[in-house]
A and B are shown apart, each in its own frame.
Chain A
């Protein structure tokens, strides 16, 4: 059974960097793509970007200047860094296994990150 678990600080100050980790079990992150998605309070889902087996990345154009997704295959984890955060980045952040044309079939439970001083 594939499982994903997000971890990281629940509170980040404005202008600082949001950093999250997604720990994957039951599958190797050298398979498929691995996505970050977020859901701001009262709003819909927003795709942030993904990393694929070779370490290549694709980002949402609206966030591209602030986002970095990376991976550590030895620990089967991948990471999200979002710089220069504002209150608009407050959201529940999810990591997911993305099978492209077959959809995102496994998701973490999500972690709430609040941007506030």
Chain B
């Protein structure tokens, strides 16, 4: 079945460091890919999405590119802030599907 694998955390960075959180997926078709973020004490919220190969999703300085050849959707940010401390989930939804499959999540700590 479809699945999402993302790097284990926690990831600890200093403010203004470069962030990469790796995500790879397995799917039978051509899924849409997402990154969700969960800030402490809050619900999950969609951070960015990409619906087809080579699409780049971006939001709040975060970016991820849909790489079909490597089945990857890595999350990047050039300069993290303390306020980016959260848990990040990579997820997919099959084309025409009505279900979202989530990865296990990666906790990010950013130190001042």
Partners in one complex: no
